Chain A
Amino acid sequence: MLAFLLRRLVSLTVTVWLATIVVFTVLQLVPGDPALLMLGINAQPDTLAALRSQMGLDQPILTRYLHWAGGLARGDLGVSLTYARPVADLVAERLAVTLPLSLLSLVLSTMLALPLGLLAAARRGRGSDWAVLGFAQLGVSMPSFWIAILLILLFSLTLHWFPAGGFPGWSAGVGPALQALVLPALALAVPEAAILARVTRTAVLDTLGEDHIRTARAKGVGRMAVLLRHALPNALIPVATVLGLQISFLVAGAVVVENVFTLPGLGRLLYQAIGQRDLIVVQGVVVLLALFVVLVNALVDIACALADPRPPATGNGGAS
């Protein structure tokens, strides 16, 4: 196990290093002068020269990379051209929206998926099983941003229960802030819940076929108690694995859904930075999101290895 953990740590470090190289290199592909691209053709020569110096464009590319990567290691992501503020500060501010949104969607998807998956497994082949599988098929097929638009149509424009967009800030109180996050979180949660419900159903059905379940039933333990006390806990390992692997899709989904609801989160910051040609912000946010995904994937791997008594496998188990 120690060898596996060490190997995983080494591969994590290599992946993080390569990810920083990828982000840095891709943004060097900008055709022409990046400073001119960011400031526009009407920029003053001294402003252009100052930005070139800030971006290190007068330095060799390796020096630039080392300077940027060193800053990244210290938590310094550079200064945004548009906001004239450190990117790290902007990220910290935006996380106050993105983090609760992601957590809320994870909670919602789990709250939806576990009972549905359990219900489908318990009533296999009956109407409720088909209904859950139908929901799962539909949920997987609907993109989160379309679900978001439909939710706005129903709950904001028709029923007026939730705001159609924007975020009042946590200073306005927890209630209004959470109210603004419910629909975006639900839009992100439905496709996740669809996948998780399928996984839960399969995992519970697999567990129900095991010997200890038959023993418990033979000893007279009720069907519901067997499901909740024996089958569900054993089925949670694959469910947690899939939940962890879904984090990268949650990151991508949040970028789009935050824009549907004009939520001032990281995704919105990234999208606006592209429009504003603020490459320093794009670079900082993308590398942070990538590092987050790498870290979560590694943690999922390690958690699975710790929970699984069999010898650990190499690789991260696919990510389709």
Chain B
Amino acid sequence: MKRRLPLSLHLGAGLTLLLVAMALLSLLWTPYPAEQVRVIARLKPPTAAHWLGTDHFGRDVLSMIMVGARNSLAVGAAAVGLGLLGGVPLGLLAAALGRWGDEAVARLGDLVFAFPAVLTAILLTAALGAGAINVVVALALFNAAVLARVARGAALAVWRRPFVGAALALGRGPLSVTLVHVLPNIAGIVVVQATILFAVAIVNEAALSYLGLGIQPPSPSWGKMLGDAQTHLFTAPLQAVFPGIAIALCVMGLTMLGDGLRDWLDPRHRSSGIL
């Protein structure tokens, strides 16, 4: 029987696609150049010319949010992509190697979890200076540890299933079993976790950029926009609202997408999410 896609999956995917489309559109077009300074038009409220107003340098806020989406999504995608590349093979290896490999991955996870991603980024920034690359490295390390643990747990369950035993009995080696049988069976759970980690990466990137440790000016970032807006809360309070809404919508889209995917892939799991 064909299962219906959960509503949260539709809404999450829709919201995420909308933001991705906005980010891609910013490559071709923005209402104004995002870095164009017009001090004469600084801190303007929303008008027909500037739909979301202007910031303290007179830059168009909508254009900055569009380019900010691109930057945030790029950092999130890089952090999750590197996390997948590092974490999934590690988790698969741990499951295939058995006890010692398992123990090594568990201890490595303990070590990485000792440093919340923001703390790792701060440590790297102190040593190497602020910038998006250090943020990506810090987030990717955390993501790799989480994904290694998730992949290991899921892979161990697959290794216990009869068809894996049958494949081994037929003379398939551990590498072949891992690639042909284990990996496709854990792909779903890994994708779900990666989606949620993407949302976490967006929040952490914004927090680090707010502190001035992430994406560096003049390139716009949602977190930095909020940081700048805070100094003009009296005169232009709306400037502290729009970038926050962008972050919240992005995170909401990704978490709903993750929840929806989980419900769809595993109907036994009933999400406690909104939908």
Contact = CB atoms under 8 A, between A and B. Distances in A.
A286 B150 CA distance: 27
Contacts of A11: 106-107, 110
B128 to A, nearest CB: 6
B255 A15 contact: no
B122 A143 contact: no
Nearest to A19: B114
A294 B127 contact: no
B111 interface: yes
B239 to A, nearest CB: 10
Nearest to A165: B230
Interface string B103-135: 000110111011111110011111110000000
A141 B123 contact: no
Contacts of A28: 127
Contacts of B257: none
Interface stretch (A44-52, A97-105, A148-156): A148-156
Interface stretch (B32-40, B61-69, B179-187, B203-211): B203-211
B200 interface: yes
B64 to A, nearest CB: 16
B119 A289 contact: yes
Nearest to B103: A314
Contacts of B107: 11, 14-15, 18
B234 interface: yes
B252 interface: yes
Nearest to A21: B111
Nearest to B110: A15
A83 interface: no
10 contacts: A26-B124, A134-B274, A136-B274, A140-B251, A143-B206, A152-B233, A153-B237, A270-B122, A316-B109, A319-B145
A140, A201, A314 interface centre (most CB from chain B within 10 Å) = A140
Interface in A237-280: 248-249, 251-252, 255-256, 259-260, 270-271, 273-274, 279
B123, B125, B145 interface centre (most CB from chain A within 10 Å) = B123
B196 A320 contact: yes
Interface in A142-186: 142-146, 149-150, 152-153, 157
B255 A19 contact: no
A262 B241 CA distance: 20
A141 B251 contact: yes
Given A137-B252, A153-B233, A320-B193, A31 B128 contact: yes
Interface residues of A, number: 63
A267 to B, nearest CB: 9
Nearest to A200: B272
A243 to B, nearest CB: 16
Given A259-B211, A289-B119, A320-B200, A149 B128 contact: no
Interface of B: 102, 106-107, 109-111, 113-119, 122-128, 145-146, 149-150, 193, 196-197, 199-200, 203-204, 206-207, 210-211, 213, 223, 226, 229-230, 233-234, 237, 240-241, 244, 247-249, 251-252, 255-256, 272-274
A220 to B, nearest CB: 30
Contact of B119 (A142, A201, A252): A252
Contacts of B110: 11, 15, 294, 297, 316
A248 B107 CA distance: 17
A18 B234 CA distance: 47
A28 B241 CA distance: 40
A133 interface: yes
Contact of B127 (A30, A289, A319, A320): A30
A57 interface: no
Interface in A7-22: 11, 14-15, 18-19, 22
B116 A252 contact: yes
B146 to A, nearest CB: 5
A165 B193 CA distance: 37
A311 interface: no
Contacts of B272: 133, 136, 198-199, 201-202, 205
Given A152-B233, A153-B233, A320-B146, A146 B226 contact: yes
A27 interface: yes
A270 B150 CA distance: 32
A130 to B, nearest CB: 7
